[in-house]
Amino acid sequence: MSENPATPATDATDATDANAPEAGAPEAGTQGSPAREAASQGAASRAADEPAPRTLGATAVSAATPRRGEPMFPDGTGPAADPAGSHHERRIRSFQPRRSRVSPSQADALRRLWPTWGLDIDGLSRIDLDAFFDGLPVVLEIGFGMGEATAQMAAADPGTGILGCDVHTPGQGNLLGLAERNGLSNIRVANGDAIILLREMLAPASLAGLRVYFPDPWPKKRHHKRRLIQPEFLALATTRLAPGALVHCATDWEPYAEQMLEVLSAEPTLENLHSGYAPRPDFRPLTKFEGQGLDKGHVVHDLLFRRRDA
């Protein structure tokens, strides 16, 4: 697989700034959030600085827990704690970074696979998706938790690349491990703020789809402004979708489902593929989290919208 390719962003995007918070076995030497919501410093700018990716048969690295305030991956071989740093504006976010305990196997996967399968959302460069995914059409998934459903979808559709965006470090490591063990060369992992990824690092009309499954519902009324699916977010995201691209959202929180349906229906560049909510499509696996919600009597709503041709 190719090294993380990116080119410096040379033009400002015309998208509205969002005020919402928020695999065949890989070749040797190459690589590829449960935050319920949530890309890459280019090879040209960092290839000379970062250590060469380790081969997939490398000895496992121990996962010593860093002291408070210390970076988890000080050698730069894993996701950064704050990839965008202070060079991007502060605003309400839809997620809380969760750098909780990483298991030895997750840390090993991150150290070995991050240099070519992972990318930090620093907002400083434009990602070349064709090079990063070897020419596959790419779907962006925001908030993949521990990555089990993402891995299942990647296995079922090897002709589509999945760019998973999250801030949950254990989940990032778990997904990379799943990709390696199951020979999924169509998965890449982005660490950081999806708004910055969309606005600064993805080209217009570059995505074949957008998936947002079970984002944090922020149930308290005073927190509704933190929900990801807002008009401002969609105004930005739809500029990155190619004509015909599918937008698929799912939630088990009824009030949030109603908001999603209202906001998605009001976006003029999108058309609903159903008269209201959609039946769960076969390609979206039943997740452990979803099963727990169903056991509690929650009703899961799917929403399927398509980017209009004009």
Catalytically active residues, by annotation:
216
CA angle, corner 302, sides to 182 and 217, nearest 5? 95
| Cα gap 244→305, rounded to integer Å | 9
Query: What residues are paired with 191 via a beta bridge?
Result: 120, 166
Q: Is there a binding annotation on residue 225? A: no
Q: Is there a binding annotation on residue 239? A: no
Task: Measure Cα distances from 43 to 47, 49, 55, 80 in Å.
Answer: 5, 10, 18, 16
Q: Is there a binding annotation on residue 59? A: no
- Tokens 């008269």, located at residue: 275
Q: Is there a binding annotation on residue 290? A: yes
Q: Which residues contact 138 (CB under 8 A, 6 or more apart)?
A: 129, 132, 160, 161, 162, 163, 206, 207, 208
- Rounded to 10 degrees, the C-alpha dihedral 263/266/267/271 comes to 100
Q: Is there a binding annotation on residue 287? A: yes
> What is the residue-wise DSSP string for 176-216?
HHHHHHTT-TTEEEEES-HHHIIIIIS-TT-EEEEEEES--
Q: Is there a binding annotation on residue 296? A: no
Q: Is there a binding annotation on residue 132? A: no
Beta strands 6-8 and 125-127: pairing type? antiparallel
Annotated binding-site members for substrate: 220, 252, 287-290
Annotated binding-site members: 141, 166, 193, 216, 220, 252, 287-290
Annotated binding-site members for S-adenosyl-L-methionine: 141, 166, 193, 216
